[in-house]
Amino acid sequence: MATLLLMIIYIAFISLGIPDSLFGTAWPAINQEFGLPVSAAGYVTFTISGCTIISSLVSARVINKYGTGMVTAISVVMTAAALLGFSFSQSLAWFCLFAIPLGLGAGAVDSALNNYVALHYKSTHMNFLHCFYGVGVSLSPYLMSLALSEQDNWQGGYRMVFLIQGAIALIALISLPIWNKANQNKQESVDETSKTVSIAYLFRLSSARAVWLTFIGSCAIEYTAGIWGSTFLVHTKGLSAESAAKCLTLYYVGMAFGRLLASLAANKLTSWKLIHIGQSILVAAIVVLMLPLPAVVSAAGLFMIGLGNAPIFPNLLHLTPKNFGKEISQSMMGAQMAASYVGITLMPPLFGLLAQSLGVDIFPYYLMILFLVMILSMVRLTASLKKQNLYAGGWFNRG
């Protein structure tokens, strides 16, 4: 039963990745049809991100009351409904309206499933879980590209993706009895000790503040590299837009491959060691981008950035119950997801503003600053955990 439930969780996590890359793929056709400026996309993306942050912060209270299975099912239904709503939208206002349930649903399911896997499964499953996110984030742009090839039919693209999201929502609803059966005993033991704490309570913990900055740095690197990597290759390395776009796929391949490798290595290596190995690869890759090397080497550097950054996020999430205790892990998980979306929301646009005045050449230096924020915060986190005898940074898993 536990294995069946894990498969359902994997499938549900595909639904988290599906919307994330869809809007950016469709936006050039949407803004041209509606006669909107390119920058108008920010209204939609900020609405999604804002609602995701809010949902993440209140997720512990909702999940502790209604359960992970119910929250997951309702959240996927909300995101499916939002995608269908996008397909019928005829103005920017309607897109912003449907962005609300999309963001609220994404934040809730992200916090719910990550904490559940962190509590009940090994780190190898957490890493593999985030591989399934990669399936969703890769599938939806492909389907949208097929629709756009037919007279810029972005509405049809949204409807195709809605069918997949709707099918996942149906699976999530049907699986509710499985959640109850598979977790009746162990869920009771967790619920007895689980409690909801405020963000103010968590903010007083030095380890919490440190881990939030770590998540901000890692996620800011992930999304800044994904959004601006091809622009860097065009303006600094002289590639064509088409070639740069193809090279950027190496970045996402590196991320997916890194999480797959981490899921295999997690049977032997501790989560902390996977994080440290990833950080070592990441800083070396950023240095490669700083050097005046050919474009092909820079493309390989982007691949290595994806590879190195890949294990940091899922393994740090998996350590949440160990670092902060099972009692408040759901509250802490929600706060961590909110911090992640702060980095996702603010840091890539900030680079765009800086690049306008300083040039796109600053791209690797900006990534290095984000890396330093992450690594210095990680040092503070480990120091705080060592004081509490909570840091287990050995190389190998035992048993």
Contacts of 163 (CB under 8 A, 6+ apart): none
Residue 128 resides in a domain = yes
Predicted confidence pLDDT, tens digits, the chain (399 residues): 678 899 999 999 998 888 887 887 788 788 889 998 877 888 888 899 999 999 999 999 999 888 999 999 999 999 999 999 999 999 999 999 999 999 999 999 999 999 999 998 888 999 889 888 878 877 887 888 888 887 778 999 999 999 999 999 999 999 999 988 766 655 544 444 578 899 999 999 999 999 999 999 999 999 899 888 888 888 899 888 768 877 877 888 888 899 999 999 998 999 999 999 999 999 999 999 999 999 999 999 999 999 999 999 999 999 999 999 999 999 999 999 999 999 999 999 899 889 888 998 999 999 999 999 999 999 999 999 999 988 876 666 654
What's the rounded Cα separation, in Å, for the pair 359 and 248?
20
Q: Does residue 222 sit in the same domain as residue 343?
A: yes
Q: Does residue 251 sit in the same domain as residue 359?
A: yes
Q: Does residue 44 sit in the same domain as residue 88?
A: yes
- Give the domain extent around 217: 194-399
Residue 88 resides in a domain = yes
Q: What is the DSSP secondary structure assignment for residue 269, as one 8-state letter?
A: B
- Structural domain ending residue among the three candidates 149, 178, 207: 178
Burial class (CB in 10 A: 0-12, 13-18, 19+), 267: exposed
Q: Give, in order, the Cα–Cα distances in Å from 124 to each of 74, 260, 311, 354.
A: 27, 9, 10, 38
Q: Residue 76 maps to which CATH number? A: 1.20.1250.20
Q: Does residue 232 sit in the same domain as residue 259?
A: yes
- Structural domain ending residue among the three candidates 147, 178, 209: 178
State the total domains in the chain: 2
Q: Does residue 198 sit in the same domain as residue 222?
A: yes
Q: Does residue 174 sit in the same domain as residue 213?
A: no
Residue 183 resides in a domain = no
Contacts of 162 (CB under 8 A, 6+ apart): 80, 83, 84, 87
Q: Give, in order, the Cα–Cα distances in Å from 332 to each of 69, 194, 204, 299, 328.
A: 19, 11, 12, 36, 6
